[in-house]
A and B are shown apart, each in its own frame.
Chain A
């Protein structure tokens, strides 16, 4: 039915999924850093974080991706020239995942910030009053509840990002969309292959929703339904 191209497409799914998961890791780091910067007392850090979230969320993903991919190459060349290291090629995987992480880090900053603010301040003060260290307060009080509050927003971001990975094909990553275009060109059946990867994306989103619903139930265990913030 797919002229033997199915294994190649499924192989591309692996690229798509690894781009998505590595980007999610980067995005979580950017998001946590952004949320901490927005919540800490320093006005400078707060201004930097607001600038980051405002600008990133005002630009199309594809523009940011091309900007980081080509701009990163130029900066890297300039740097290596100065150091006399010779030419280094920007890896499309690194550029793609870093850009997606950078973009969705801005959205996660808001998610994480809201989740931290949703934790009653009294609980953190109580922890400090018991003599817990800052790290212990973070680990035992803030994080477990933050995950529960952040999960709905996190789920949404994961789903949006999963779909945004389709854009990495434009900067030359050999993902599922790129494989589909190769198979389309070879077989002259573009509908078959683009519809096929559409279905694959749909099954991955469906599976993600199912998994994250179960995770949500688990992190919200012991919380009465009407109390669970959704």
Chain B
């Protein structure tokens, strides 16, 4: 049924693709995390001028397909002479840079909403206690808001990272040779399904398993203080939360 010769011949290519997929995931989720922490504070702010622009950003990026965002950046921006003549052109002509930018903006939009939701559910008593003992704004964020919000957001954040990993498959449409691109090339060369897409599925299943196990361990670490009944329930893979009404 499975032609092991093809598997043996294409395994190095898949191995390379796996590394590209992991690299895309790591750089995009790292920059997404760094950006969404301050943005989520602005998003959860009571001040409209802070909240509104961030909401506009997350609304647009959560309301349009990632594929279209990627195409606008990679195929679209070079339409403007301004971009092509700029000193940043060496970046914008690279599929790598464009994929990283699109993935970062996309995951930042979702993660910002996840963190903002977690910040909003901080019990008001905690904030009042922090103010009463005279903590500065920065201390309130670092010692009160963030530790609690991070714990509450962790299960959803884990889902978002898994979704992000799956989204890296779209990089195959802009000539980046990650796992899915390798599978499509193998299919074109040998016209076999199990050894091409089936093989890619095995890699993605493995990556998903590693990520969900990792996040479960993180949750066990960060949610240790909760009662055993609720901390033992495994996090459910959920659909990427779309725009909330």
Contacts and interface: CB of A to CB of B under 8 A. Distances in A.
Interface in B62-108: 63-69, 71-72, 75-80
Given A55-B205, A163-B65, A70 B166 contact: no
B186 to A, nearest CB: 12
Contacts, number: 134
A60 interface: yes
Interface residues of B, number: 47
B242 to A, nearest CB: 3
Interface string A43-76: 0000000000011011111110011001100100
Contact of B245 (A74, A167, A209): A209
B182 to A, nearest CB: 11
Interface stretch (A4-12, A122-130, A198-206): A198-206
B208 A58 contact: yes
Interface stretch (A92-100, A141-149, A154-162): A154-162
Interface stretch (B5-13, B118-126, B231-239): B231-239
A62 B71 contact: no
Contacts of B172: 62
Contacts of B14: none
A67 B242 CA distance: 25
A157 B79 contact: no
B63 A67 contact: no
A212 interface: yes
A15 interface: no
Interface in A24-57: 54-55, 57
Given A191-B77, A212-B245, A74 B236 contact: no
Contacts of B241: 156
B170 interface: yes
A81 interface: no
Interface string A193-230: 01101100110011001001100100000000000000
Contacts of B76: 184, 190-192, 194-195
Given A57-B237, A189-B79, A192-B79, A62 B170 contact: yes
Contact of A188 (B68, B79, B237): B79
A164 interface: yes
A102 interface: no
Given A70-B187, A74-B193, A191-B79, A163 B64 contact: yes
A202 B71 contact: no
Q: Which of B75, B78, B172, B236 has the most CB of A within 10 A?
A: B75
Interface string B211-245: 00000000000000000000000001111111111
A198 B64 contact: yes
10 contacts: A59-B208, A61-B169, A155-B245, A167-B65, A177-B68, A191-B79, A194-B75, A202-B64, A212-B245, A213-B245
Interface of B: 59-60, 63-69, 71-72, 75-80, 166-170, 172-173, 180, 183-184, 187, 193, 197-198, 200-201, 204-205, 208-209, 236-245
Given A71-B193, A155-B245, A166-B68, 15 more contacts: A58-B208, A58-B237, A63-B204, A70-B187, A70-B193, A71-B197, A160-B239, A160-B242, A190-B75, A190-B76, A191-B80, A194-B75, A198-B72, A206-B63, A209-B243
